[in-house]
């Protein structure tokens, strides 16, 4: 290919965009809408997963000791536990601390009906935080084999709920994102297909004059890639602003939820969202024009 031909091809690709304004706008709009929806749900889903993960990290397995245990042995047990892979953090809680926490968190209104004694004087314990709630059972099995442990409190229900929620949300997210991707690809190729059908005549004329498939196709492919790029870029910018504002608004408006919900920074979300969207836009723009032009090249 001559350099002049290459330059011409590039120029034609750009010109095509302005020649078929309605079609170009429609394509950009379609790609834009799809990337927009995709990005929106991707952000929501990422945050959802993050919130559940944060909630999980607050769940602890509590270990109570035999009544006649020595401080020495307690320390030994603590060392053993912290060596386990599934343990992220371990904390010793003395009997007095346990009673204070219990009074504060559980008794509430009823606290005045108890005296000044500590009814929990045998309740010194370890609070063990896990890397992943689903690994709780493995840890408990191990703990049960350790000498000197009287009882293990494993908050089965909350742990199970959280781990179920986690996988449910993962499934639903993957499902939704997959559906969105499929719908997007479908819609975009649709738009590209109609657009190129309109130019079927143009393609056949070029071929009859003796142009090769490559020469006919190149401007369309370049056009597709450019439209994909613009179509993916606009909604990304939009989502960036929306994302920051919505989070600011939610944090400001629902202060009560603030402690429960930890939102991801825009940077974290966009570090994966941007490449996925750009690849999606450009890839579909490229493939869409490449495939649909081919259909009309057989002249």
Partner 1 sequence: MIILEDVSKSYSTGAPALNGISLHIEPGEFVFIVGDSGSGKSTLIKLLLRELTPTSGKIFVNKYDLSKLKRRKIPKFRRNIGVVFQDFRLLKDRNVYENVAFAQRVIEVPPREMRKNVPSMLSMVGLAEKYKARPRELSGGEQQRVALARALVNKPPILLADEPTGNLDPKNSWEIMKLLEEINKSGTTVLVVTHNREIVNAMRKRVITMKKGIIVSDEKKGGYIDED
Contact residues for its own copies, defined by CB under 8 A: 22-23, 25-26, 29-30, 33, 36-37, 40, 44, 62, 64, 102, 106-110, 113-114, 119-123, 151, 153, 157, 160-161, 164-165, 167-168, 172, 176, 179-180, 183, 186-187, 190-191, 193-195, 197-198, 250, 254, 256-257, 260
Q: Minimum Å distance from CB 249 to its own copies?
A: 9
Q: At what angle do helices 266-296 and 21-57 cross, to 10 degrees?
A: 140
**Cα–Cα distance between 174 and 48 in angstroms, integer?**
13
Residue nearer to its own copies on the CB measure, 95 or 229 = 95
Contact (CB, 8 A) for 227 and 292 = no
Neighbours of 228 (CB within 10 A): 29
Cα atoms found within 13 Å of the Cα of residue 115, Cβ hemisphere only? 4
Question: According to the binding rule CB under 8 A, does residue 205 interact with partner 1?
Answer: yes
Q: Which of 2, 71, 109, 144 binds partner 1 (CB under 8 A)?
A: 2
The answer to whether residue 267 forms part of the interface with partner 1 (CB under 8 A) is: no
Task: Select the binding partner of residue 29 from its own copies, partner 1, none (C-beta < 5 to 8 A, by kind).
Answer: its own copies
Q: Binding to partner 1 by residue 14, rule CB under 8 A?
A: no
Angle at the Cα of 283 from the Cα atoms of 173 and 24, rounded to 5 degrees: 105
Residue with tokens 């509590």: 62
Residue from the set 208, 255, 256, 267 that interacts with partner 1 by CB under 8 A: 208
Indicate the residue among 120 and 274 with the shorter CB distance to its own copies.
Answer: 120
What is the distance between the terminal CA atoms of the chain, rounded to a whole angstrom? 22
Interaction partner, residue 209 (its own copies, partner 1, none; CB < 5-8 Å by kind): partner 1
Which 8-state DSSP code applies to residue 113? G
* Residue in the block written with tokens 């939610």: 250
């Amino acid at each position: 290919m001559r350099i002049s031909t290459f330059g011409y091809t590039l120029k034609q690709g750009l010109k095509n965009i302005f020649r078929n304004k309605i079609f170009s706008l429609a394509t950009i709009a379609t790609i834009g809408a799809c990337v927009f929806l995709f990005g929106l749900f991707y952000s929501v889903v990422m945050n959802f997963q993050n919130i559940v993960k944060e909630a999980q990290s607050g769940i602890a397995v509590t270990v109570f000791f035999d009544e006649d245990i020595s401080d020495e042995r307690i320390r030994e047990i603590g060392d053993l536990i912290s060596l386990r892979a599934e343990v992220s953090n371990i904390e010793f809680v003395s009997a007095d601390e346990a009673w204070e926490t219990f009074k504060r968190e559980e008794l509430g209104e009823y606290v005045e009906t108890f005296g000044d004694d500590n009814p929990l004087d045998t309740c010194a314990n370890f609070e063990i935080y896990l890397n992943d709630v689903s690994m709780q059972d493995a840890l408990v099995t191990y703990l049960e084999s350790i000498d000197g442990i009287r009882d293990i409190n494993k908050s089965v229900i909350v742990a199970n709920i959280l781990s179920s929620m986690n996988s449910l949300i993962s499934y639903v997210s993957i499902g939704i994102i997959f559906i969105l991707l499929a719908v997007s690809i479908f819609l975009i190729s649709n738009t590209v297909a109609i657009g190129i059908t309109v130019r079927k005549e143009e393609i056949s004329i070029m071929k009859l004059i003796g142009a090769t498939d490559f020469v006919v196709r190149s401007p369309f492919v370049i056009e597709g890639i450019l439209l994909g790029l613009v179509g993916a870029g606009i909604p990304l910018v939009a989502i960036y602003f929306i994302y920051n504002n919505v989070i600011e608004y939610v944090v400001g408006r629902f202060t009560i939820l603030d402690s429960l919900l930890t939102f991801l920074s825009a940077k974290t979300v966009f570090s994966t969202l941007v490449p996925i969207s750009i690849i999606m836009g450009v890839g579909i723009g490229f493939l869409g024009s490449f495939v649909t032009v081919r259909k009309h090249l057989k002249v």
